Every structure is written in structure tokens, then in C-alpha cells.
Amino acid sequence: MEVTSDDFQLFDRKPFAFKQLKEQYSSEEIEQIKQDYQAHWQKWKALQQAVAKSLPKEYRMEKPKIESWTNGWNLRNHFWSAYRDPQHENQNACLAVLLNKKQLQVYLMFQHYKSEERAGSLTEYNTLLAMLNEWRKGKDIKDYYIWPQVEHELADHLPLAEFLADDAQPEKLMKAMQGRSFQLGKLFFKETSISNTEQVIRQTMKELAPLYFALN
């Protein structure tokens, strides 16, 4: 299974709300949009399940959370999946995979939504920033980016290499985080051919795993 230009193109639309879609499209056209979404989402789901099965057994991530293609009122503007060690399934930190109209991203994140219902503090998560210089050793970080959680997912994020090369960047990032968290991961843009998608996701998650498991 490969992510192709058609997968990115799915999200290059307006509107996403069914109420607005009904104002612009016929019932038959909306049904076709739904079928297209479901077909792409089934492919996404199968890809995530394949990745999960291929991860090291000690990760215990065989059952990722795969967000639905709709929230009931809207089509999603991205597909998203979260991977957690089930022994820490209520943890706010997770490894995640996201596909939107611009990029495929495989990243480490702190899930703020309903965070009060899960374990793991924001302060503890953000201490991972101090580990990045050690973590990056032996890794090719050219496709890695780092950004504040509050930054829009379609914004142009900062390359990790630039962040690590400038002593002023950590302070800038902390200010940009606005009291929340950072996200770190590899971005694969739609203009670039993404071959061996399953392998790319798996390898990136294995690279990020030491940071994730450092919180456990």
C-alpha cells in the first residue's frame, strides 16, 4: 500500500461540513463523495493495521486508534491514527500518523484533547526537548521537523536540523508553544514520491520510539 497523489487530493476541498455540502451538491454527488472518502479511509486503515503488525513486539502497539473518516457532521480534513503501548493506553503522549492535503507526517505528540482524562503531564512531556541532541545521534534528520502544537498542521514547520543548529531556537519554541507542547516528526510532502509507505512509517516510528518510551 502506497500513499499516492489521489490520497492527498481527497482533502483538497471545501467545504467539509455536510450541511454546506448539501447546499452545493446533489444527493448523488454527496453519495459519491462519501464513497470516495470511505474507499480512501479503508486503504488508510489497512495501512495502519499493517504498520502496527510489523512494529517490534515489545512496543505492544498492535491496535492503533484509527480516527473515523467523519465526525458525524463533517468530513475529516485529514486522516489520523495514534499508537500507544496498551500498558500506557491512557497516556497523553503517543506516536501518530497523519495524512492531509499537504503531507504525510509521522510524529510524536501530546494529545491535548481530553488530556485531563489521561495520564502524563505536559511538563514531563516537554522535558523531551532536552533529549533531542542525544537522540539525534546516528540518525539522518533531514526529513525531521519540529513545531509548536498550536501551529496549524498546514503551516511550514521548522526543520529539526535548523532548530538544533541555533541555540536561540529552544527559547523561541517555548514562547511559540504558548504553554502547550511541541510536536516532532518526519514530513513527507505530496510533491515527493512516497514509495514503501509502510516501511517509511515503521522506520520513523522506530526512530521516535526512544523518546516516547522515555516517558513510560
Note the pTM of the prediction, 2 decimals.
0.95
Distance (Å) of CA 170 to CA 34, 42, 111, 122: 43, 39, 21, 16
pLDDT tens for each residue of 10-26? 999 999 999 999 999 99
Which option is the CATH number for 5-213: 3.30.930.20, 1.20.1090.10, 3.20.20.80, 3.40.50.150? 3.30.930.20
Domain residue extents for the chain:
5-213
Encode pLDDT of 103-155 as tens digits.
999 999 999 987 877 878 999 999 999 999 999 999 999 999 999 999 999 99
Average pLDDT, the chain: 95
The x, y and z cell numbers of residue 17, run together, are 461540513
What tens digit of pLDDT does each residue of 172-203 get? 999 999 999 999 999 999 987 688 999 999 99
